[in-house]
Chains A and B, each alone.
Chain A
Amino acid sequence: MEVNRHERLKRRFTIFALLQAFLICLTIFLSINYFGSTVWEQRTAIGLILVDARNDSGWPREITQGLQSACDGHHYNLYIEDKVPVDEANLERITKKMLGKNVKKIFLIGDFSSQAIESIAKKHPNVTFFTNSIEDSYADNIFKFSVRYHEARYLAGILAGLHTKSDIIGYIAPFPSLETYQDLNAFALGVQKVRPDIKVKVIWTEIWHSVNQENKALYLLQNAGADIITYYGPSQHIAQEAAALEVDYIDFHNIEDNSSPHCIAAIDPDWQTICDHLLDININKSLSKYYWRGMMDDVITLHLGPDISPKEKSAVLDSQEKILAGYPIFSGEIIDQHGITRCKTDTVIDNNSLRKGMNWLVKGVDIIETR
């Protein structure tokens, strides 16, 4: 009886000791793996601040989607704040909120004022702010980015010149600015290349984005006889409205699968690739503080609609091939509306002049500005 009890106690003790040893070993192994483990390393966090809703068509949706895909590819966390008012106080509040999530790079999409961005950037020198523009900035931690839209726009001009029946092409843009002049000049050069006689009517809506103003501009252009409409702006509203009015148009943003047959082409920047490049940029190591790439870098193209004629298509593709082979659009003799030679024969307008100095419109295409 006694022996059994002793044996039982001994067995219990042995089991207890083994269990303890196992737990200790487990703890040791877990501790060994815990310390310095990469599992616990914090993922890089990226912030995106939008003035518009993230799903709004145009830049908000395109950049959000492109950045999300790029972050996924990099295994970064993306924090998005949309519908943010443009004032500095709100921008500051949202920035701080992002910093609380260990965000080191913030993308600002919308019509935030340059002063507000500069001010916020100076307050947070350890954060890199990416803004969708190619103007110069004074803060070291602001990185500007844009796409060489004018390269695709040149091709769009060729297509529009060949496609128009009324010989009037409508162009809607928010404000006259360096960016819109670049775009409009390239478009005009494209049109001029195939139809030097054609008019491009331009309407400035005088607002960054307004449905009413844009509808109004569209109505005016249609009434002025324009049978092809194109535009420059953050939203895709004009394209949708043109489709509804059954007017042919060249979209400034990506076209959806269910796009209208009136969309004869769309300027198609590859935001994911662009964002990939941007995420790879270490602002402290790069001399250049802006990113401005185009068709030769494969980040933008002109997406042609299915209903254009072979002739149109062939002309566009020929020109596209030349651009890809190194043809600079703003080269050779270019004279502005006032008869001033802006580019001599056998010279090329360099990027710097394009970014900072193109405050003129080319001669040769009748550009009618309407306000």
Chain B
Amino acid sequence: MKRDNTSTATDKRMLSFVLQLLSKFIIFLLILIVIGLALHDKMTDSLNREVEKFNTTHGELISFYYYNLLTTDLDNMSNISGMITAGNISPANGALAIGGKGQLVGILDIHGNNFLGDTLPPETRIQCTRALQGEKGWKYYTDLGLVGMVPIYDGDNVRYVLYKVYTPEALQDINSPFHFSDKRDDEENLLYDKSTQQVVVPFTGYKESEFYDHDKDAPLGLNELLEKLGSKNEISIFNSKLSRDYLLYAASIPDSDFMIIGYREWRSVLTGITNIHLIIIWVFGLLVVLFCVFILYLFTNQVAAEESTALREARDDALRANEAKSEFLANMSHEIRTPLNAILGMNEMIMREATGSLKKYAFNVKSAGETLLSIINDILDFSKIESGKMEIVTASYSLSSVLNDVYNMVSYKASQKDLAFHMEVDPQIPDSLSGDEVRLRQVIVNILNNAVKYTQKGSVTFIVKARKHSEDELLELEFITRDTGIGIRDEDKDKLFSKFQRLDLEKNRTIEGTGLGLAITIRLTEMMHGSIAVDSVYGEGSTFTLKIPQVVEKNEPIGDFNSRIEAALKKDTYTESFTAPQANILVVDDNEMNLTVVESLLEKTRINIHTAKSGQECLEMIQDNYYDIVFLDHMMPEMDGLETLERAKHLVNSKCKNTPFIALTANAVAGVKEMFLSKGFVDYVSKPVDGKTLERIIQKHLPPEKIKIPAVGTAEQAHKQSPPAAPEASDTTDQQIDLPTAMKFCGGTDELQRRFLGMFVSRREAVCKQLDNDLQSGKIDDYTIHVHALKSTALSIGGVKLSECAKELEFAGNGYCNGTEAEKEEHLQYIREHHPQAVELYARLANEARERFGVE
């Protein structure tokens, strides 16, 4: 369902994104189109104007043609007039000489009357006067036609006027000189008289052509032409409203009222220029396409960016999930470490007391426990590395000590698998080095354990060499681990150091492990500035070469190492490292079981151990007694370890003002040590503690005068201990107490088991009352802490069902404390329903303890 919702949301998001892109793209395209259109308009406009300019010259040429025609005609008439004046020709002959087809000729006197030829209408009188004043010229009269007049002189003065008339018919005759014989097909011209506003010489078919304006009985675009002509001599216009294909032009004929009007095809004027126009449009079109492609490319990038946002979000989710995982792992370690504390602690006791096969069993328990612990440690280490909290702490150490530990840890495992474990240590290597001993040991052991783990038969050889860097104090230690195991495939080598990766699963399915070992190893090696290399032949074996630089403290060689190992082998039984009968220590823990474990582990040191079950009790006790050391549990109800310490420090009557407080916690997550130190603890011990660690810590913090070191060899004691009771073969379905579980947590001792069980049963009423009170008063947080304690104590005496029930209640309690209002109600309901069940299980367990083990 959720997946469906997510997918719908993604679809919607993509749809809106695509729509956004599309709208942006369309906007861009529209802008481009608008610009393109504006550009096209402007270009066409500019082009038309240029065309107009080109064509103006053409109009000028035509007008010049007419001008010449009219002037030549007048000149001819002037010549004849001159001849008449000179008496070379009679006026009648002269008039005849200028005449032609369709033309009227004659002579007028100074009053405008006809002296020869036809009488002209009165409107020609002005023209006649002008001719008499010496101005020859042409005039057009609508009904008469085109009239040319020149003066005929008598001496210095003018006596007559010689005239010539082109009748309208003559003007329209295509054979008349007013019609071009070589006129182009793509143009038409006509002669227009501005004073009478009449067409003087039309072109053929003028009135039927598209250039005749029927409404105005005038040439097409006459008004526009006259308006633009104004004071100019010639103009040309292109107006698509008048004609889409033709340019209009007009040119005045000098010294006359006439002008020519012409129409010329647009394309014929442009000729090649249209190609330029087309090229520009074409290139712009291509640029638009290019731009679109570019924009699409940008949009694609945006899509990619959007996707990368999604990826980033996914990565953040993954990181959060990883953090949650780390937290989960850290919390889990706490849960697992608590019972493991009991197991290993009790087992330590057994190992001290037991002999023979019992000791062997105990040793097996220890081995298994340590394996489990190492797995938990691996997980913890990895979570530390992941969160960047892992630090390399440099300190002086003895290499032989490290190698000794390594040998101890590995040789046993090798012998278990009947593998030969050879160790060759170069005797010249300096023993005293500086570096992180713990991590070095961890890395070496990891690789060696791996070698042992993946070798079924044959041997594991561990060679330690060193190479001194001449330029500085660094010594490059080289640890070579060679095994005769299954080897690694070539294609698997790359996966070798990745986390949770296990190779060749089919063959290795029987081999346990988290797959974290080598991943931690490589990270730690890198943190120590070292390197790791693998050389392997599949099926024949592998060689791991680990190189780690370390600083040399003293140049004292390590010497013959093998002989030391032999000696060490003989020390296998527990010996207390010291006794301190005058020392007093206080152990504070709300869990009695843990108090017992500590008491038991330190029994042989003869230290006076006082215990307190709460912070309050602790505060009371430190006011009454002086303690050399106080071990303080972290997680306690009412007052936790941190608060207790805080109060203890400020307690006026405290006798333990200078006493070191050491934190005791099962909460061994990364960074917790620093937290404790910052809160005022001098040291920190993680549960489960082993005897040696506890002793080491105490030895470290006890005043030296109170410590007595036993003489070597005398401390060894053998205590007989009955073997652990075999698990009872009975129907266990109804049983509240699971004996094997109980034995695990009690170190396999009947006595301890009964003692712990007795303690557990005796606390029943108090515990139940406490829980009832908590629940009734609504203190669910206190209830959760108490039920948490019940969970672990019940498990340690084998009360698995009760423990499970308590665990559920604790979970609900935690849910109540951290949840929302709705969840609170739900969790509280759960607690109310299941609390009586826990009480009943506790009662049944007490019953069973009485009946089965006789414990009251």
Where the two chains meet, the residues of A that have a C-beta atom closer than 8 Å to any C-beta of B are 21, 25, 28-29, 32-33, 35-36, 74, 279-280, 282, 285-288, 296, 325-328, 331, 343-344, 346-353, 357
Q: How far is the CB of B714 from chain A (nearest CB, A)?
A: 70
Q: How far is the CB of B59 from chain A (nearest CB, A)?
A: 13
Q: How far is the CB of A182 from chain B (nearest CB, A)?
A: 13
Q: How far is the CB of A73 from chain B (nearest CB, A)?
A: 9
- Measured CB to CB, the nearest residue on chain A to B151 is A350
Query: Which of B38, B126, B133, B155 interacts with A344 by CB under 8 Å?
Result: B155
- Measured CB to CB, the nearest residue on chain A to B129 is A326
Query: Which of A25, A33, A344, A350 interacts with B134 by CB under 8 Å?
Result: A350
Q: Which of B156-164, B539-547, B837-845 contacts A (4 or more CB under 8 A)?
A: B156-164
Q: A25-B35, A33-B42, A349-B157 are in contact. Are A328 and B231 (CB under 8 A)?
A: no
Q: A36-B49, A348-B110, A350-B157 are in contact. Are A29 and B126 (CB under 8 A)?
A: no
- For B110, the chain A residues whose CB sits under 8 A away are 328, 331, 346-348
- For B268, the chain A residues whose CB sits under 8 A away are none
Query: Which of B129, B156, B159, B255 interacts with A328 by CB under 8 Å?
Result: B129
- For A343, the chain B residues whose CB sits under 8 A away are 157
Query: Which of B49, B128, B134, B158 interacts with A326 by CB under 8 Å?
Result: B128
- Measured CB to CB, the nearest residue on chain B to A349 is B157
Q: A32-B39, A282-B233, A325-B125 are in contact. Are A353 and B156 (CB under 8 A)?
A: yes
**B395 contacts the other chain (Cβ, under 8 Å)?**
no
Q: How far is the CB of A339 from chain B (nearest CB, A)?
A: 17
- Pair B231/A357 contact, Cβ less than 8 Å: no
- Interface size for B (C-beta < 8 A) is 35
> Top 5 closest A-B pairs, CB basis?
A350-B134, A326-B129, A347-B157, A326-B125, A348-B132
Q: A29-B38, A346-B159, A350-B134 are in contact. Are A327 and B129 (CB under 8 A)?
A: yes
- Pair B254/A285 contact, Cβ less than 8 Å: yes
Where the two chains meet, the residues of B that have a C-beta atom closer than 8 Å to any C-beta of A are 31, 34-35, 38-39, 42, 45-46, 49, 71, 109-110, 112, 125-126, 128-130, 132-135, 151, 153-159, 230-231, 233, 254-255
Q: How far is the CB of B310 from chain A (nearest CB, A)?
A: 14
A201 to B574, CA, bound (A): 168
A344 to B254, CA, bound (A): 34
Q: How far is the CB of B684 from chain A (nearest CB, A)?
A: 38
- For B31, the chain A residues whose CB sits under 8 A away are 21, 25
List 17 interface pairs A-B (beta carbons < 8 Å), by A numbering.
A21-B31, A28-B35, A32-B42, A35-B42, A285-B233, A286-B254, A286-B255, A287-B71, A296-B126, A325-B126, A326-B125, A328-B129, A331-B110, A344-B154, A346-B109, A350-B134, A350-B151
Q: Decide if the interface of chain A is mainly helix, strand, loop or mixed.
A: mixed
- Pair B155/A74 contact, Cβ less than 8 Å: no
- Pair B254/A287 contact, Cβ less than 8 Å: yes
Q: How far is the CB of B707 from chain A (nearest CB, A)?
A: 59
A35 to B153, CA, bound (A): 59
- For B158, the chain A residues whose CB sits under 8 A away are 347-350
Q: A286-B255, A352-B134 are in contact. Are A32 and B157 (CB under 8 A)?
A: no
- For A21, the chain B residues whose CB sits under 8 A away are 31
Q: How far is the CB of B235 from chain A (nearest CB, A)?
A: 13
- Measured CB to CB, the nearest residue on chain B to A6 is B309
- Measured CB to CB, the nearest residue on chain B to A354 is B133
- Measured CB to CB, the nearest residue on chain A to B153 is A350
Interface hub of A33, A279, A288, A346 (most chain B Cβ within 10 A): A346
Q: How far is the CB of B138 from chain A (nearest CB, A)?
A: 13
A79 to B156, CA, bound (A): 43
Q: How far is the CB of B258 from chain A (nearest CB, A)?
A: 13
- Measured CB to CB, the nearest residue on chain A to B126 is A326
Please name 11 further chain A to chain B contacts, defined as beta carbons within 8 Å, in addition to the given A28-B35, A285-B254, sorted by A numbering: A21-B31, A35-B42, A74-B231, A326-B112, A327-B129, A331-B110, A347-B110, A348-B133, A349-B158, A350-B133, A351-B134
Q: How far is the CB of B254 from chain A (nearest CB, A)?
A: 4
Q: How far is the CB of B545 from chain A (nearest CB, A)?
A: 47
A29 to B31, CA, bound (A): 11
- For B42, the chain A residues whose CB sits under 8 A away are 32-33, 35-36
Query: Which of A285, A296, A347 interacts with B154 by CB under 8 Å?
Result: A347
- For B34, the chain A residues whose CB sits under 8 A away are 25
Q: How far is the CB of B847 from chain A (nearest CB, A)?
A: 60
Q: How far is the CB of A151 from chain B (nearest CB, A)?
A: 11
- For B45, the chain A residues whose CB sits under 8 A away are 36
Query: Which of A288, A296, A346, A352 interacts with B255 by CB under 8 Å?
Result: A288
- For B132, the chain A residues whose CB sits under 8 A away are 328, 331, 348, 350
- For B157, the chain A residues whose CB sits under 8 A away are 343-344, 347-350, 353
- For B159, the chain A residues whose CB sits under 8 A away are 344, 346-348
A335 to B132, CA, bound (A): 19
A331 to B112, CA, bound (A): 13
- Pair A357/B254 contact, Cβ less than 8 Å: no
Q: How far is the CB of B617 from chain A (nearest CB, A)?
A: 48
- For B38, the chain A residues whose CB sits under 8 A away are 28-29, 32
Q: How far is the CB of A263 from chain B (nearest CB, A)?
A: 30
- For A29, the chain B residues whose CB sits under 8 A away are 35, 38
- For A351, the chain B residues whose CB sits under 8 A away are 133-135
- For A350, the chain B residues whose CB sits under 8 A away are 132-134, 151, 153, 156-158
- Measured CB to CB, the nearest residue on chain A to B111 is A346
Q: How far is the CB of B349 from chain A (nearest CB, A)?
A: 57
- Pair B254/A349 contact, Cβ less than 8 Å: no
